[in-house]
Amino acid sequence: MGIPQPFDLPVYVTKPLRPSLDAYVARLTDVWNSGWYTNAGPQHQQLEAALSDRLRVRHLSLFNNATTALMAACRLFELGGEVVTTPFTFPATPHALAWQGLQPVFADIDPLTLGLDPARVEAAITGRTSAILAVHVFGMPCDVKGLQEVAQRHNLRLIYDGAHAFDVSIDGRPLGMFGDATALSFHATKLFHTAEGGALIVGNAERHVRVNLLRNFGIADETEVRLVGINGKMSELHAAFGIAVLGELDAERVKRRHVARCYRAALADCPEISFVPSDMQAGDGLQYFPIRIQRDSDAALRDKVYEGLRRFRVHARRYFYPLCSRFPDYMNLRGSAPGNLQVAEQVAQEILCLPFYGDLSGQDVTRISEMLKYLLET
């Protein structure tokens, strides 16, 4: 195999879904004319209703991002003390806890779902634990049944960080219906996005009302401030963008499925590469295309491939390396020792998220796959 030629332009891990400019401008014109730019305006209401419909949940509140939504969930349940969570996630997950004065306690993950292992969660629970914060990482559902049982046995809240899990179901049941609350991210790098944005889904009307108060400074009316809330509101410009993106989502999903199939076919004969999830049907938010790169004798193989791809102008990402438990603010906490997180440590050394978006052509996938093979062989 000859040395692959680098791409002329950088190829990133994702390319945000771009709605038709005309559709967006038409909506912006409405916003402009209305003179109403934020605070639950008509675009916001329309998007909230459309997403509730699409995700088949009744109590969804838009937020300005998933991090604020997670913090609002902590407030909603008045959590205190410690929260058991995963180290294999984006910094926002433990940071949302730390910003609420809660102590993250990291537990190890399951090698298949890459989400929290219920048995390891149970072992981490103490009298100070108030909740479990689990992540449906890469859109792959956690062991929701196992986690629910642990939460029930110990009378804990169960919150899901579903930042990667837009429109994912388990046996036909929307993922947002599990646990006490689920946060979604609509950041530009997500399949469905509003440039910046997020949502919180809860299970009943009373909680929904409280979430909406928390999102708007706790303001009930002009004279009554009922709760210590925050500014978690999504603007009309973001909501308008989201409505335009939503109109093109199904087409993007079809294209991403095709890209995933092309990668799987092109890389099927590489013994060092395994797909995550192993089977395309096994729950996949079409958010990322993670692979695991392993060769017994070479612990640094993933990093070698990552660096090599960058030289070819392919910017794959090592989500989520290093583990959050390695961050200076968390490394000395109970649970953070690498020996307690052996599966997560291993997975974080092996995962690479390849460029993945609808506009990635079959030809580009072939080129990237050939670069990968070249790097594995040399």
Which stretches of the chain bind ligand T4K, using CB under 6 A?
12-16, 65-67, 89-90, 92-93, 135, 161, 163-164, 185, 187-189, 198, 315, 319
Report, in Å, the least distance between residue 201 CB and ligand T4K.
14
Report, in Å, the least distance between residue 155 CB and ligand T4K.
25
Report, in Å, the least distance between residue 1 CB and ligand T4K.
27
Report, in Å, the least distance between residue 24 CB and ligand T4K.
15
Choice between 252 and 272, CB closer to ligand T4K? 252
What gap in Å lies between CA 339 and CA 107, rounded to an integer? 11
Choice between 65 and 235, CB closer to ligand T4K? 65
What gap in Å lies between CA 173 and CA 17, rounded to an integer? 26
Report, in Å, the least distance between residue 131 CB and ligand T4K.
16
Choice between 246 and 376, CB closer to ligand T4K? 246
SS3 category, 252:
helix
Residue 351 in tokens: 């995962």
Say if residues 85 and 132 touch (Cβ distance below 8 Å). Answer: yes
Element holding 161 (H helix, E strand): strand 157-161
Residue 188 in tokens: 């530009």
Report, in Å, the least distance between residue 115 CB and ligand T4K.
11
Element holding 170 (H helix, E strand): strand 169-170
E strands present in 249-359: 273-275, 289-293, 314-315, 351-354
- Sequence-distant (6+) residues with CB within 8 A of 325 are 87, 106, 331, 333, 335, 336, 338, 341, 344
Taking the CB of residue 56, how many other CB atoms lie within 10 A of it?
13
Residue 273 in tokens: 């590469």
Choice between 12 and 374, CB closer to ligand T4K? 12
Choice between 36 and 327, CB closer to ligand T4K? 327
- 175-196 b/e (C-beta count within 10 Å ≥ 16 → b): bbbbbbbbbbbbbbbbbbbbeb
Choice between 290 and 335, CB closer to ligand T4K? 290
What gap in Å lies between CA 74 and CA 307, rounded to an integer? 38
What is the CB-side half-sphere exposure of residue 327 using CA atoms within 13 A?
A: 18
Report, in Å, the least distance between residue 257 CB and ligand T4K.
20
Choice between 140 and 376, CB closer to ligand T4K? 140
Cα distances from 360 to residues 50, 262, 272, 374, in angstroms, run 28, 10, 24, 20
Choice between 4 and 198, CB closer to ligand T4K? 198
Report, in Å, the least distance between residue 91 CB and ligand T4K.
8
Of residues 135, 204, 123, the one with CA closest to residue 175: 135
